[in-house]
Structure 1
Amino acid sequence: MREWRVFPLVMCLTMAVAVPVRSQGTTTASPAPKADEIVGRMLEHNRERLAALESYTTERTYRVEYHGTGGEHRAEIAVHAEYTRPDQKHLTIVSESGAKFLCEKVLRKLVQSEEEAVQNSNRQTTISPENYKAELIGEETVAFPDSPNGLKTWVLRVTPRVDNKFTYHGRVWISQDDYAIVRIQGEPAKAPSWWTNRAHFDSRYLRRSGVWLPAQNVSTTHVRIGGEAILTIDYGTYPVVTAHPVVQSAERHNPAALEASLNR
């Protein structure tokens, strides 16, 4: 049971750590920018927005279900999460239920590894020109809580430049108004281990107080000897989020614009 969780863990951590971003009201370019331009703007905005995020508090739920030759097993733990910039994340297990061995060998280890990984994130998973080839395959308006008419997004197909257990093939939805990652669907470029033959993940994000944060990650793994394991992380509603106004690159060299930004 330990092996199949490796890739979902890597992907969950990457998304949680790499993509907290802040809305900036960027207008959509016309005609559509090229894929490399979209990725470049996303990376630039992410650096600025990540710097703006100061702290958050939320209540998470980690849940795993296994159906296969070994029968059906379930486990769940509740976790209190606190983040403080630049890299201090504290995860406290509040309660647990279900199969004891899943709680101890899978969920507890997942929480422990995530807390440690904040300070040791793997750069191979970052969506960047160095790691991935990106292709713009269309536009899509997705349902979104704070957008009555939906959220307009660019849809990119990403292909890793190097296939390994940290990279993935998939699609990425990037918001047109602020170049934030809204959703990622994908599968590992290489099987995480001999124990699995297929794996898939779906990560979604939400906006709180203008800041984008992980909302949910669902990772499904098919085991070679038969069966399926589903790991779901619900990241909660983030009742407490603290972020200061974003200072864009141009504003850093313009005192008047910087002052205006800080007084928004």
Structure 2
Amino acid sequence: MRAMIRASILTMLLTAVGMAQTSAPDVNTVVSRMQTAMGGRNHDRAYSVTREYRLVPEDPNKASRVVAEVNALPSGKKDYRITEGGGQAENVVRKVLDHETEVTNQNNGAVLTADNYDFVLAGTEAIDGHRCYVLQLKPKRDGKDILRGRAWVDADSYLVRQIAGTPTKSPSWWIKDLQVTLHYREMQGLWLQDSTQAVAQVRVVGKHTLTARALDVRTDTTLAGNLQTPVRKRSRRVDPALLGAGVIRH
């Protein structure tokens, strides 16, 4: 009988120790590990991502498609070229990509930092079948790239799997509301943004949705020699409502 009691006590102690070891770390630890994990990715190889963009107004029959190739170097430099598209949708995508390359070239894309946010650990959720820590993002300043929302951080790798929220500063007067979701996953050994959705309520013309998805990823040392600033077309005159619907970071 005593042996059974001792065994039961030992089992409970081991269970308690195991629970303590698997409990969630504090928010500072999650943020620190996230920044270390994200900072160590994609800096050792050149790569090229082919993306498909779709701009969909309230009438889905008027949807437009654009394909772009986005190139990046280990140094952090990024550029792009449009391979398919035209009209207003192409001009919207050019504005989006101009902003993306400008921001990336300035700060290497690091935005989830203590300079921009206070972080609150809001529990755990699954993204793509992976357990994630949910960080509530409380902006410290206003900006087109600063989101009031949440980030999902993989509990094993501490890489960001998803960010969703509303920019603290509208990209345009025409935008009354903008909801952005950025999704990330591993592609060809790189941790990349593989899809984006931005849903905007645009003054006068109504709801517009801009989506982007990665069609292909190439990693090749020859990309470093091929990455050059492209000759960009002169932008056509664009309906400002549509332009406002697309000017967000991707």
TM-score, structure 1 length as denominator? Answer: 0.67
Give yes or no for the alignment of 1:109 onto 2:95.
Answer: yes
Q: Which has the higher contact order (CA 8 A, sep 6+)?
A: 1
Q: Separation in 2 of the partners of 1:241 and 1:138?
A: 39
| Alignment counterpart, residue 42 of structure 1, candidates 22, 34, 40 | 34
CA distance in 2, matches of 1:135, 1:88: 32
Unmatched 5+ stretches in structure 2: 1-19, 222-250
Contact 2:188 2:217 in 1 (8 A): no
Q: For residues 48-67 of structure 1, what are the structure 2 equivalents within 5 Å?
A: 48-51=40-43, 53-67=44-58
- 2:144 matched residue in structure 1: 165
Counterpart in the other structure of 2:154: 175
Percent identical residues: 26
Structure-1 residue corresponding to 2:124:
139
CA drift of 1:191 comes to 3.2
Q: Show the counterpart of 1:76.
A: 65
Provide the C-alpha distance between the structure 1 equivalents of 2:48 and 2:25, rounded to a whole number of angstroms: 36
C-alpha contact (below 8 Å) 2:127/2:161 kept by paired residues:
no
CA contact (8 A) 1:139 1:152 kept: yes
Asked if the contact 2:124/2:131 (under 8 Å) is kept, the reply is yes
Deviation at 1:226, TM superposition (A): 4.5
Query: Could you state the TM-score of these two structures normalised by the residue count of structure 2?
Result: 0.71
Q: Provide the C-alpha distance between the structure 1 equivalents of 2:169 and 2:96, rounded to a whole number of angstroms.
A: 21
Q: CA RMSD in A?
A: 2.6
Is the Cα–Cα contact under 8 Å of residues 173 and 184 in structure 1 kept in the other structure? yes
Q: CA deviation at 1:241?
A: 6.7
Residues 72/215 of structure 1: CA separation in 2 closer, same or farther (3 Å cut): same
The amino acid that maps onto 2:105 is: Q
Retained in 2: the 8 A contact 1:208–1:241?
Answer: no
The 3 A distance-change label for structure 1 pair 84 and 191 is closer
> What is the identity, as a one-letter code, of the residue corresponding to 2:95?
K
Is contact 2:27-2:121 (8 Å) kept? yes
> What displacement does 1:120 show?
2.1
Tell me the alpha carbon deviations over residues 198-255 of structure 1, each in whole angstroms, 9 at most, x when there is no partner: 110011011124431110011111013350111111122424378xxxxxxxxxxxxx
CA distance in 1, matches of 2:24, 2:88: 50
Point out the structure with max Rg over C-alpha.
2
Looking at secondary structure, tell me which structure has more strand per residue.
1
Query: What does residue range 147-162 of structure 1 map to in structure 2 within 5 Å?
Result: 150-162=129-141
Deviation by residue 1:10-51 (Cα, 9 ceiling, x = unmatched): xxxxxxxxxxxxxxxxxx963211112111111122222243
Contact 1:157 1:171 in 2 (8 A): yes
